[in-house]
Chain A
Amino acid sequence: MNIHDCNCCFGDAARPPFRYARTAEELIAEMDFCGIQRALAYHAGMRFDSPVVWNDRLVEEIRGFSPLGATWAILPSQTGEQRKPEEFLAAMRSAGVRALRAFPDEHRCRLDKRTFGDLLPLLVERRIPLLVKQNILSIGDLLKEIPGLVVVAMNVGPHSLERYLRPLMDEFPNLYVETSHYMVEGLIEESCVRYGPGRLLFGSGYPDVCSGAALLRLAQADIPPDARAAIAGGNLERMLEAARP
């Protein structure tokens, strides 16, 4: 089965985990250890240092490692740290980046129309997925403002957030859930029944958590094989194919 991880990272941070991959090569070794074929990766520096430095460095560091695809993190354009949207998307296109990430808490900004009103409509137009690690209610507010945006909610958990999440999933068909923290027993199964398997994307969460945990959870989820295949990689790959940076 093709396993394509949408949430993993390598590189040093100020407070690193006990065990992590320092380089792209080490990340691939970790993926091999678990039997993961491909990954949409980011560099720890993009989250904990600055995307200004590490977006481009990521592309350099994964060059030649075909199992890895790059993602970039976004910042508001008002401060001038990040290129203007058209220029940013052109650079993204030429670097082969097909999905973006947002870490609004780490980067102390609001992920809303006021702050990202110049970029987000372009992401809608070009079907570029935005992988967002943030409180699920803030993601709901974002989708209310920009309902066409393709959003993957990252690290949804570890507690069950279903009472917040399901009203949003019901309302916004472009909202997807990454599975690394979707670890409460029964959630994957109920999501597949309620929404079909198309709304979940496998993420290992490495190295926030152990890759093998989310992987064994998905491998043994009580769902049909085609649903497992879709979550393991099919949904992500369809999403990336649709993106037109």
Chain B
Amino acid sequence: MMSQMTNPSAIAREFVQTGRCASCPIIDMHGHLGPIGEIYLPAAPVEKMRRALLRAEVRKIVCSPHQALFSHPDGGNRLMQETIDRYPDTFLGYWAVNPNYPEAVRRAGKDISQARGFVGFKCLPDYHAHPITGAGYAPALEVANERRMLVLVHTWGGSGFDSPQMLAEVAQRYPNATFLMGHSGYGDWEAAVRAAHDLPNVYLELTAVYVAHDFGNQPGGSGTPLPFLSCLHVNGIIEHMVERASSGKIVFGTDMPWYSPHYAAGAVLFARITEEDRRNILYRTAEKLLARSGGA
């Protein structure tokens, strides 16, 4: 299939032929675990998810379970720990924090220090209806700042909870923490790219960036308290990010068990960028970040 393609990328060619590239593995910085109420995910069982990851040479994935994000975080964080302990070669974790459970956020620093394989925190402001700049996240962000940890924040253009502008504000408030801008502030690309370019501790994260979100086409819309911004076309966005922010400020992500690793990788492999850019996005930048935060 696709044997006649003129794409000169040797990495792309190997992926097309074999589904992976031994010299260019993938590190996925945005994953989840388990089923979710709002949609059906065939790869929700962890064995199925892991099999799909291995088929695409995803060597590591950093996850926060749906259960930690859509119920009390404690149960889901425990599930993450069990999964890391079972598959330490594949899974790392983000400790999920939800400001609607302030007592759990207050003890998150102690909890994460006693856990194994967690590299930072996960914040989901749009879904928890709490601004990333608000006091509810502060205890966890202070810990991340003190310990130089990663913080993966769901971000979306135009949001009143986690816009790229708000992410930039907290990134300046906590300069020692490293912020991964989940979905790269989807739709408000310029603000997101500017934040990643200007702030040394802000990175663009690609989950869903390669996806045209037309919520008018989806029964039930975005499923969030405030509707998400749609964006009808995204082709070329990866090139734009590389040009404006550099591939060293971009990490790969899939939301697995949501988006197929091959689909997401295809968007990188067929972008008009260099092989070095592809390597940076698919694993090198993530490797550096994980090494810094103890997850390598």
Nearest chain B CB to A13 CB, angstrom units = 8
List CB contacts (< 8 Å) of A107-160 with chain B.
Answer: 133-137, 155, 157-160
Does B79 touch A at the CB level, under 8 Å? no
Does B235 touch A at the CB level, under 8 Å? yes
If A159-B39, A184-B259, A213-B264 touch, whether A220 touches B19 (CB-CB below 8 Å) is yes
Does A170 touch B at the CB level, under 8 Å? no
* A204, B228: Cα distance in complex, Å: 24
- Residues of chain B within 8 A of A16, CB atoms compared: 233
Does B263 touch A at the CB level, under 8 Å? yes
A17 touches B233 (CB 8 A): yes
Chief secondary structure at chain A's binding surface: loop
Per-residue CB contact flags for chain A residues 175-187 toward chain B (1 = under 8 Å, else 0) read 0000001011111
Does A238 touch B at the CB level, under 8 Å? no
Per-residue CB contact flags for chain A residues 198-228 toward chain B (1 = under 8 Å, else 0) read 0000000111111111111111101000001
B235 touches A33 (CB 8 A): no
Chief secondary structure at chain B's binding surface: loop
B211 touches A209 (CB 8 A): yes
Does B55 touch A at the CB level, under 8 Å? yes
B217 touches A185 (CB 8 A): no
B219 touches A164 (CB 8 A): yes
B5 touches A135 (CB 8 A): no
- Residues of chain B within 8 A of A164, CB atoms compared: 219
* A36, B7: Cα distance in complex, Å: 11
List CB contacts (< 8 Å) of B237-296 with chain A.
Answer: 237-240, 254, 256-267, 269-272
Binding site for A on B (CB under 8 A): 1-7, 12, 15-16, 19, 38-43, 48-49, 52, 55-56, 208, 210-214, 216-219, 232-240, 254, 256-267, 269-272
A-B contact pairs, 11 of them (CB 8 A): A1-B2, A18-B240, A33-B5, A35-B4, A35-B7, A160-B42, A187-B42, A189-B42, A209-B267, A216-B270, A219-B16
